[in-house]
Amino acid sequence: MTPGKTASVVLTQQALTLDEVVDVARHGAPVQIEHGARVGIRAARHAVETLGAGDTPIYGVSTGFGALASTRISADQREDLQKALVRSHAAGSGPEVEREVVRALMLLRLHTFVTGHTGVTETTVDAYAALLNAGITPVVREYGSLGCSGDLAPLATCALAATGEGEVRDATGALMPAAQALAAAGITPVTLVAKEGLALINGTDGMLGMLCLALIDLARLAKIADISAAMSVEALLGTDRVFAADIQALRPHPGQADSAANLRALLAGSQIMQSHRGEDCSVVQDAYSLRCAPQVAGAFRDTASYARQVAERELASAIDNPAVLSDQRIESNGNFHGAPVGYVLDFLAIAVADLASISERRTDRMLDPARSHGLPAFLAGNPGVDSGLMIAQYTQAALVSELKRLAAPASVDSIPSSAMQEDHVSMGWSAARKLRKGIDALQRVLAIEVLTSTRALELRQPLLPSPASTAVLSALRETVAGIGPDRWLTPEIEAAVAAVESGQILDAAQGAVGPLH
């Protein structure tokens, strides 16, 4: 978490925003429960207790779970039922999931509690808020969710921590038993009552949390992609005439228009561009990776825009089964199915792979003396003796190849579970996990293109690049040296990745031309 985030996020029955999710998950913002929302929480709990006392079976209250839904549970066993549910479903395996993902998951489950449609107690609501505010993060494992009936194992692991069992990391990142961390923070472990265990594990919160985080990251990387493309167009003596607004308007996709507008702004004032505008320029058309940059980056933006619509609908949802309705009925439903989220996570993985692919093609072109319009082979200081950035492109190619594998959809797969009761699942958690890997890979590919294009632009001296490119070049040169004898490239690539991830590259470009779309 980033320290110093102090503004609270107030949870109400209304929808959360993407920014609020990221503030809590990534930046450690504290949460508060709106006083008015507590009325709905109490009313839903009253409905559960009233109906649970009757003779009509209610799933998860007076029955078992999944394939055991027809098994009646007596009133004196219902607390044990909830405890057993959480313990048995906290069955994850593999590496730890990132802290920000777990915090997002817990926040989204807490928000569903606050909508007043789950029937949990105020004690449980306050415990989840206290865990988030204390920076206590349950140790959730990579594998265990099929994306249907909720992200079961991840959510159950969080519920287990709230009861004082399992492992957590405290605000400093130290690993310890949950009971120890709760005691140190002055948090009383929750004793689950009827329906609560089910309410704590039945939601798409993990995959949705990862989608929210991804959308914020992808909005930044869309701008980085335009910056890196503009610098490559400059370095390769391409034309900006194809990015003209009237040409772009012939195909009125909003993302394409935004990307083209960014490219025009980023290339404005370039001496390099001006040097080959005359009639003596013999190049009729640029390669697709230059000429079609706004079409690809625009489609990427429009895909993210659709995914954002889905995320915003989910952030306005109350997902539980059974759900407590406003007229105090408790009804079974299938709203926990992750298909809407899983589909867009897979869709985004395709767009991520393609945006990286076109970036790698531009990098390769800058390194090839047969296609780079006068640049030395591999941008080496002494080609032949030096290999320059040859293997940086290999790294890009490896990343792009991996992205193509990650673009294979997870949501088309379904493995039946729970003795065929849960016979169609979304695999949305898996789609979200691979998208996170894809975002990291895309960031690295774009960083290598920026690294390459800055060196290529320096080789065009004495002609100066645009003010935006000049600002980016100067920012990168704070940590990465320019052309010279071959040296260890890994630290320079990692420095470029850090400059992209931190916002340094974006800030430099926007400082020169103003906010990008």
Catalytic residues: 59
Q: Among all chains, which residue has been given the structure tokens 């701008």? A: 223
β 31-33/9-11 pair status: parallel
8 A C-beta contact, residue 333 and residue 323: yes
Q: How many residues are given for the chain? A: 517
Rounded distance between C-alpha atoms, residue 319 and residue 314, angstroms: 9
Question: Which sign does the torsion angle of CA 500, 504, 510, 513 carry?
Answer: negative
Instruction: Please report how the helices 293-315 and 339-367 are oriented relative to each other, as an axis angle in degrees rounded to 10.
Output: 160
Helix (H) or strand (E) holding 176: strand 175-177
Neighbours of 369 (CB within 10 A): 13
Of 250, 265, 354, the closest CA to residue 302 belongs to 354
Query: In one letter, which amino acid is 476?
Result: L
Rounded distance between C-alpha atoms, residue 448 and residue 392, angstroms: 7
Helix (H) or strand (E) holding 182: helix 178-185
Of 82, 86, 80, the closest CA to residue 156 belongs to 86
Q: Is 327 strand, coil or helix?
A: coil
CA angle in degrees (0–180, nearest 5) for 439-416-413: 35
Query: In one letter, which amino acid is 315?
Result: L
Of 176, 211, 507, 235, the closest CA to residue 365 belongs to 235
